[in-house]
Amino acid sequence: MSFAASVLTLYPEMFPGALGVSLAGRALEAGTWSLDTVQIRDFATDRHRTVDDTPAGGGAGMVMRADVLARAIDSAAAEGDPRPRLLMSPRGKPLTQAKVRELAAGPGVVLLCGRFEGVDQRLIEARNLEEISIGDYILSGGEPAALVLLDAIVRLLPGVMGNDQSGEEESFENGLLEHPHYTRPQEFDGRLIPEVLVSGNHAKIAQWRREQAERLTRERRPDLLDGVK
């Protein structure tokens, strides 16, 4: 069974976007995963296809309506659907590589892309949505975040990457940032490939890569070192 992704959005034309090319695109064409988009406005009941309203208690902006979103979610994920329901939100739990691997091992995801000021809290509770954030910044909507999440997941699906080992030696897989990379030519702009990498001594190469990963992590993301053994 392939990994099945359903995306609820006001802008289905944004998909598959970048997911339709390269590794993800080839995997989509091959049936390794599937993508279904749901236009949220199709579940509005008024002639203007309204999906939002003013916030209770006042304030700027608009809030996406619980009733409209509930109908959209129920159409995409019937009762008993085992796929997790995720809301892309800047206030959600930070997305980690461990979470990506967890999702990639499952049957798929149902992704709700928020817009405006946010989503009615009652919808989040009633439909058991897990809020996920891809970073401490604000986007115009959840669609770019959903594309990021799906790209991270799809590349880990069996057979998508030509060399599965590629996914095991990347940043965050072992709690560290990835070591520097080099390739031909031997000299570029007066800079040489580190001698250890052309020595043929695999033990020393592994040690060098580990030391470099620790150095980069210490300099750029010292917060990650607490979980490194």
Percent of the chain beyond pLDDT 90?
A: 90
Mode of pairing for the β-strands spanning 52-53 and 63-64: antiparallel
Instruction: Give the model confidence (pLDDT) of 99-135 as tens digits.
Output: 999 999 999 999 999 999 999 999 999 999 999 999 9
For residue 36, give the amino acid letter.
D
Task: Please give the pLDDT value at position 226.
Answer: 83
Burial of 150 (0-12, 13-18, 19+ CB in 10 A): buried
Q: How far apart are CA 137 and CA 141, in angstroms?
A: 11
Write down the pTM of the prediction: 0.91
Gap between the Cα atoms of 30 and 24, Å rounded: 10
Candidates 112, 116, 103, 95; CA nearest to 172 is 95
Domains of the chain listed by start with CATH number: 3-154 (3.40.1280.10), 169-227 (1.10.1270.20)
**How far apart are alpha carbons 85 and 87 in whole angstroms?**
7
Instruction: Name which of 70, 119, 55 is nearest 92 in CA terms.
Output: 119
Alpha-carbon gap, residue 7 to 143, rounded angstroms: 9
Residue 31 burial (C-beta neighbours within 10 Å; 0-12, 13-18, 19+):
exposed
Is pLDDT of 90 > 90? yes
Residues 149-190 have pLDDT tens digits of: 999 999 999 999 976 555 566 667 778 999 999 999 999 999
Distance from the first to the final alpha carbon of the chain: 36
Rounded to 5°, angle at Cα 6 from 96 and 37: 125
